């Protein structure tokens, strides 16, 4: 990898802190701030953005990404300098009009984990402003801002400071649904430190209910002293004919006549806080602290101010927050030989933690949904959590199985509390056919890291609501009063082992086939845009993953046998899905499979009998392995396509009229990356087919301008028999974008098949394009995708981060588990040792913090090197000389110190 020094951001330390000059010259940039208490903020270099704790509780005006440069309702702080109005955040009409002039203001952004500072210097007045914002770690739903004003000139400056932060104070639904009417609910008061808004009612789609939240904008000077007065109503602050970016109260220097006490009710509110006039001598600095808070009843305003309301408290909380986030990332750290790559990886490591706290809503690009994480997101992010936090994630995994329905489908939205599930964010019944596959991938990683096979035998409940038969039917016997836990016919809680949950997810999928005997696409698979083929569509791509998972389940059953576990209890309703005590199903018959599945659905539509039967794990394993082998061979033989140019790949889909999607049609090649990823990853592709796929993908899907692989070729317009994705412009989102998540999984699949050079090309391409600010226009991290112009879209909240980290650790650095034992089997590609002959990684395994270093004096790549020595804490470790893989038993690791260093030295193969 060659280091680049492009224009744009640069790291200034080894903690991920970066700087960007003139950030305001780039649209669509925003930074997330969040804490465990549920405060979620976004802010641009000009401090636009919003702050909220959920869909129905927005402190600031809700924004989508286009609002970031059109809305005037951002966080603002004004100073009237010798009679001249100036916004320290750049949000004045005069500054925006002159932002592209020959002598613009000097602006620089500095950001870290998780805080943002923007410094702005007036070109004429000699005044510099530094504005820092963060959301403190802890239990308060509050965002903090500090404004520091420094006189850099030679003469004294007379300043009149005024904070101005509009308070939305209600549900995002009210942005256009009763916007004015809901302002009539506002009851605004002035505390001695700021403006409080407590609406009388919460007025949204849930109905009318007494409001229990107070929205606050509070302020103090650096010593904690209160402001001089307030302008608590928007229309009084801006004045007739005024605007938020040129308010009369500031421009005309109006006095702040509102003091502590009640304010006229029924109007839009603003935290417009006037501080006392001051004269700033050359070299002097004045500081102000603002608190943007959402408070439950009763609002403890004074207690909040005591914790945050001074420059000293602000600095203390900022230091604590930096430490908290650094500790969260300490479990996984890479030293790649390139400092820029190392720093970028810290932000990638942060991303799964952000999605766990934020979900897939509530950031400007993610302007959909109503909060909560999706089912797939839960399991994808847990992959990274296992890498960064270790085996302590097990309770989360166990709780999550309570979202599985007995028909193999699942609740699609995960709430904020353990075991809290909903059918869908908008009450729409829909089944994503891939959902049943992800839990096993995560559980297998956990089992490999921990060796805790007993986890498979732990009991968990099932999810129950009004939907049955994979959301194709309504259960007329269910009522909300019965709750969301499946019951037996006797009314008792129905539970099953984790193994039983996994079996149900995979066996129901195995039988749920279309006319080509691959799994029905249903509402969609991983690609949400393939949502218009619910009747006859099939996902060959994910059929391959389910086939691999069936084999994994069979192998896990045999592993349990090896640990002395002879049998397991299964609900008697599950047994017809197995060829054990019932007559075998003709797996080649679509009708037979569908009939067996329908009979099972009828059995579990409302309740389970409560009866269980013992099944020998060895017999269960044989049945699962047979099903896996049949499905693998079926795909391998039936779905391989070739073209006249000699390229070959797997068809990934059938559309809603039962036609094969991939191949060459009317002179146009149709190919999906998804169809290749899981046939590679799942072992469906032979070794020769794997090589052929890599060649075909390079030929048809690689885009040099994006340094990556498109999700599909251009299929043409309007494939209404497959999905909405093909109504999108080609090169955007699910229609042919360089989609980071699938690209990262493609890299993982290539590594698993021994195609190291090809896999590294994918990973390096994602990094190189992401960090190339001139093209990606994004802060450090991985976006959901890159659009047709190369811009990084939907940053921070993407499953790509988890798969990138997983692949880098387990395949590139080769640090992985094998049912509790540690395996070191690196796959370094040519060029990875170009900048250093030593690569390192810090990670957690068996509760130990490991530092693993690979020494490669000859700078060799995978296939050329062998291990010649190994040590643990400077003591020799016995290895097989000449091997490129070492297994260390868990019992040895458990005797190691909590912090252990492993060093492996390479030499050329002989």
Closest by Cα among 196, 195, 144, 160 to 311: 144
What is the spatial distance between Cα 867 and Cα 134, in angstroms, rounded to a whole number? 47
Closest by Cα among 32, 7, 4, 48 to 112: 32
From first CA to last CA, the distance across the chain in angstroms is: 27
What is the spatial distance between Cα 280 and Cα 285, in angstroms, rounded to a whole number? 7
Closest by Cα among 745, 803, 15 to 351: 803
Interval 681-707 mean pLDDT: 97
Residue 697 CA to chain centroid, in angstroms?
A: 26
What pLDDT, on a 0 to 100 scale, did the predictor assign at position 795? Answer: 96
Question: Does residue 582 carry a pLDDT above 90?
Answer: no
Query: For 52, how many CA atoms within 13 A lie in the half-sphere containing its CB?
Result: 25
Question: Does residue 717 carry a pLDDT above 80?
Answer: no
Closest by Cα among 831, 817, 832, 827 to 889: 817
Range in 195-209, 249-263, 625-639, 872-886 the model is least confident about: 195-209
How many other C-beta atoms are found inside a 10 Å radius of the C-beta of residue 894?
11
pLDDT band per the 50, 70, 90 thresholds, residue 428: low
Question: Does residue 884 carry a pLDDT above 90?
Answer: no
Q: Which helix (H) or strand (E) holds 144?
A: strand 142-151
What is the spatial distance between Cα 597 and Cα 200, in angstroms, rounded to a whole number? 52
> Could you give the dihedral angle defined by the CA atoms of residues 336, 341, 345 and 347, in that order, rounded to the nearest 10 degrees?
150
What pLDDT, on a 0 to 100 scale, did the predictor assign at position 310? Answer: 97
Interval 113-133 mean pLDDT: 95
pLDDT band per the 50, 70, 90 thresholds, residue 429: confident
Strands (E), 365-406: 373-374
More confident residue, 82 or 655: 655
Q: What is the mean pLDDT of the chain?
A: 94
What pLDDT, on a 0 to 100 scale, did the predictor assign at position 5? Answer: 42
**Residue where the block lists tokens 């990332």:** 329
How many other C-beta atoms are found inside a 10 Å radius of the C-beta of residue 558?
16
What pLDDT, on a 0 to 100 scale, did the predictor assign at position 223? Answer: 96
Q: Is 826 left (phi over 0), alpha (psi -120 to 50) or beta?
A: beta
Question: Does residue 4 carry a pLDDT above 50?
Answer: no
> Could you tell me the CA-to-CA distances from 910 to 858, 866, 867, 886 in Å, in that order?
14, 9, 11, 18
Interval 553-581 mean pLDDT: 96
**Residue where the block lists tokens 């739903």:** 141
How many other C-beta atoms are found inside a 10 Å radius of the C-beta of residue 668?
11
What is the spatial distance between Cα 369 and Cα 359, in angstroms, rounded to a whole number? 10
pLDDT band per the 50, 70, 90 thresholds, residue 419: low
Interval 657-686 mean pLDDT: 95
What pLDDT, on a 0 to 100 scale, did the predictor assign at position 6? Answer: 47
What pLDDT, on a 0 to 100 scale, did the predictor assign at position 359? Answer: 85
Q: Report helix, strand and coil shares of the chain as percent, to nearest 5.
A: 30, 30, 40
Q: How many helices (H) and strands (E) does the chain have?
A: 21, 52
How many other C-beta atoms are found inside a 10 Å radius of the C-beta of residue 520?
24
What is the spatial distance between Cα 3 and Cα 336, in angstroms, rounded to a whole number? 11
Six token digits for residue 761: 């090309």
Do 195 and 270 contact (CB within 8 A), yes or no?
A: yes
Do 230 and 259 contact (CB within 8 A), yes or no?
A: yes
What pLDDT, on a 0 to 100 scale, did the predictor assign at position 389? Answer: 87
Q: Which helix (H) or strand (E) holds 491?
A: none
Interval 767-771 mean pLDDT: 97
pLDDT band per the 50, 70, 90 thresholds, residue 311: very high
Alpha helices, DSSP H, located in 300-374:
301-308, 311-329, 339-358
What pLDDT, on a 0 to 100 scale, did the predictor assign at position 424? Answer: 63
123: which residues sit within 8 A by CB, 6+ positions away?
103, 104, 105, 106
What pLDDT, on a 0 to 100 scale, did the predictor assign at position 418? Answer: 65
What pLDDT, on a 0 to 100 scale, did the predictor assign at position 862? Answer: 84
Interval 228-238 mean pLDDT: 97
pLDDT band per the 50, 70, 90 thresholds, residue 1: very low
769: which residues sit within 8 A by CB, 6+ positions away?
706, 707, 708, 738, 775, 776, 786, 790
Range 342-346 contact pairs with CB under 8 angstroms and sequence separation of 24 or more: 342/14, 343/11, 343/14, 343/16, 343/18, 343/780, 344/767, 344/770, 344/771, 344/780, 344/781, 345/805, 345/808, 346/15, 346/16, 346/113, 346/780
What is the spatial distance between Cα 449 and Cα 440, in angstroms, rounded to a whole number? 14
pLDDT band per the 50, 70, 90 thresholds, residue 150: very high
Question: Does residue 703 carry a pLDDT above 50?
Answer: yes
Question: Does residue 744 carry a pLDDT above 80?
Answer: yes
Radius of gyration of the chain (CA): 29
What pLDDT, on a 0 to 100 scale, did the predictor assign at position 3? Answer: 42
Q: Which helix (H) or strand (E) holds 908?
A: strand 899-908
Quote the pTM value.
Answer: 0.96
More confident residue, 818 or 427: 818
What pLDDT, on a 0 to 100 scale, did the predictor assign at position 12? Answer: 97
Question: Does residue 425 carry a pLDDT above 80?
Answer: no
Closest by Cα among 313, 328, 456, 305 to 388: 328
What is the spatial distance between Cα 486 and Cα 484, in angstroms, rounded to a whole number? 7
Six token digits for residue 215: 């929205």
pLDDT band per the 50, 70, 90 thresholds, residue 390: confident
What pLDDT, on a 0 to 100 scale, did the predictor assign at position 721? Answer: 95
What does residue 781 show for φ and ψ, rounded to 5 degrees? Answer: 135, 180
Do 376 and 799 contact (CB within 8 A), yes or no?
A: yes
Q: Which helix (H) or strand (E) holds 485?
A: none
> Could you give the dihedral angle defined by the CA atoms of residues 893, 894, 898 and 900, in that order, rounded to the nearest 10 degrees?
-10
**Residue where the block lists tokens 């959902």:** 435
CB contact burial 757-776 (16+ within 10 A = b; e otherwise): ebbbbbbbbbbbbbbbbebb
Question: Does residue 2 carry a pLDDT above 50?
Answer: no
């Amino acid at each position: 990898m060659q280091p680049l020094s492009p224009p744009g951001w640069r790291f200034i330390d080894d903690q991920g802190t970066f700087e960007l000059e003139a950030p305001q010259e780039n649209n669509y940039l925003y930074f997330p701030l969040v804490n465990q208490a549920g405060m979620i903020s976004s802010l641009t270099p000009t401090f636009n953005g919003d702050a909220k704790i959920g869909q129905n509780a927005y402190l600031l005006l809700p924004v989508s990404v286009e609002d970031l440069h059109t809305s005037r309702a951002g966080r603002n702080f004004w100073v009237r300098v010798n009679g001249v109005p100036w916004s320290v955040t750049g949000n004045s009409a005069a500054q925006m009009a002159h932002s592209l002039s020959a002598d613009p203001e000097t602006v620089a952004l500095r950001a870290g984990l998780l805080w943002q500072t923007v410094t702005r210097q007036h070109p004429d007045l000699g005044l510099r402003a530094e504005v820092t914002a963060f959301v403190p770690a802890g239990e308060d739903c509050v965002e903090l801002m500090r404004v520091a004003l420094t006189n850099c000139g030679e003469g004294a400056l007379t300043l009149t400071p005024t904070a101005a932060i509009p308070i939305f104070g209600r549900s995002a639904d009210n942005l256009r649904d009763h916007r004015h009417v809901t302002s009539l609910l506002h009851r605004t008061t002035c505390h001695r430190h700021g403006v409080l808004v407590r609406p009388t009612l919460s007025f949204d789609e849930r109905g009318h209910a007494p409001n229990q939240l107070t929205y606050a904008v509070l302020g103090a000077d650096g010593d904690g002293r209160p402001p001089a007065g307030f302008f608590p109503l928007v229309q009084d602050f801006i004045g007739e004919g005024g605007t938020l970016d040129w308010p009369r109260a500031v421009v005309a220097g109006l006095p702040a006549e509102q003091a502590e006490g009640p304010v006229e009710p029924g109007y839009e509110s603003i935290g417009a806080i006037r501080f006392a006039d001051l004269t700033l001598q050359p070299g002097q600095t004045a500081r102000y602290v603002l608190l943007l808070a959402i408070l439950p009843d009763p609002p403890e305003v004074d207690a909040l101010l005591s914790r945050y309301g001074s420059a000293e408290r602000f600095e203390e909380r900022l230091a604590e927050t930096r430490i908290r986030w650094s500790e969260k990332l300490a479990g996984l750290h890479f030293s790649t030989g390139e400092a820029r790559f190392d720093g970028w990886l810290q932000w990638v490591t942060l991303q799964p933690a952000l999605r766990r706290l934020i979900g897939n809503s509530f950031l400007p690009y993610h302007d959909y949904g109503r909060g909560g994480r999706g089912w797939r997101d839960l399991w994808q992010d847990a992959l990274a959590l296992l890498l960064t936090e270790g085996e302590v994630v097990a309770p989360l995994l166990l709780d999550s199985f309570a979202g599985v329905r007995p028909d193999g489908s699942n609740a699609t939205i995960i709430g904020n509390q353990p075991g809290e599930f909903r059918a869908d964010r908008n009450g729409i019944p829909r089944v994503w056919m891939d959902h049943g596959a992800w839990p096993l991938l995560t559980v297998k990683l956990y089992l490999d890291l921990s060796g805790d096979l007993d986890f498979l035998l732990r009991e968990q409940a099932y999810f129950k609501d009004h939907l049955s038969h994979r959301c194709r039917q309504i259960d007329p016997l269910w009522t909300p009063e019965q709750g969301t836990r499946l019951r037996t016919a006797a009314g008792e809680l129905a539970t099953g082992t984790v193994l039983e949950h996994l079996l149900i997810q995979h066996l129901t999928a195995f039988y749920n086939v279309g006319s080509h005997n691959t799994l029905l696409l249903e509402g969609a698979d991983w690609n949400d845009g393939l949502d218009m083929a619910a009747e006859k569509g099939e996902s060959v791509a994910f059929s391959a993953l389910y086939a691999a998972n069936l084999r994994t389940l069979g192998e896990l059953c045999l592993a349990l046998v090896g640990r002395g576990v002879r049998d397991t209890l299964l609900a008697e309703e599950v047994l017809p899905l197995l060829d054990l005590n019932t007559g075998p199903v003709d797996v080649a018959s679509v009708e037979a499979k569908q009939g067996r599945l329908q009979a099972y659905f009828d059995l579990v539509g409302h309740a389970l009998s409560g009866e269980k039967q013992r099944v020998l794990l060895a017999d269960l394993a044989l049945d699962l392995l047979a099903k896996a082998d049949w499905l693998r061979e079926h795909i391998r033989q039936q779905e391989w396509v070739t073209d006249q140019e000699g390229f070959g790949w797997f068809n990934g889909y059938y559309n809603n009229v039962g036609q094969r999607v991939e191949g060459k049609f009317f002179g146009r090649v149709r190919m999906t990356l998804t169809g290749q990823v899981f046939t590679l990853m799942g072992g469906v592709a032979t070794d020769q087919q794997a090589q052929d796929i890599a060649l075909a993908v390079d030929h048809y899907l690689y885009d040099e301008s994006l340094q990556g692989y498109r999700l599909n070729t251009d299929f043409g317009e309007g494939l209404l028999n497959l999905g909405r994705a093909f109504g999108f412009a080609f090169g955007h989102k699910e229609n042919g974008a360089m989609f980071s998540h699938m690209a990262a999984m493609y890299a993982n699949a290539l590594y698993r098949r021994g195609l190291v050079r090809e896999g590294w090309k994918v990973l390096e391409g994602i990094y190189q394009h992401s960090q190339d600010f001139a093209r990606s226009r994004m802060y450090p991290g991985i976006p959901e995708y890159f659009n047709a112009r190369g811009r990084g879209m939907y940053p921070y909240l993407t499953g790509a981060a988890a798969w990138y980290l997983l692949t880098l650790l387990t395949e590139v650095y080769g640090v992985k588990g094998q049912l509790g034992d540690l395996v070191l089997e690196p796959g370094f590609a040519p060029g990875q040792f170009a900048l250093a002959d030593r690569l390192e990684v810090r990670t957690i395994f068996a509760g130990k913090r490991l530092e693993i270093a690979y020494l490669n004096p000859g700078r060799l790549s995978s296939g050329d090197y062998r291990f010649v020595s190994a040590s643990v804490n400077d003591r020799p470790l016995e290895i097989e000389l000449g091997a490129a893989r070492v297994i260390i038993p868990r019992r040895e690791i458990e005797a190691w110190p909590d912090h252990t260093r492993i060093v492996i030295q390479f030499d050329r193969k002989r």
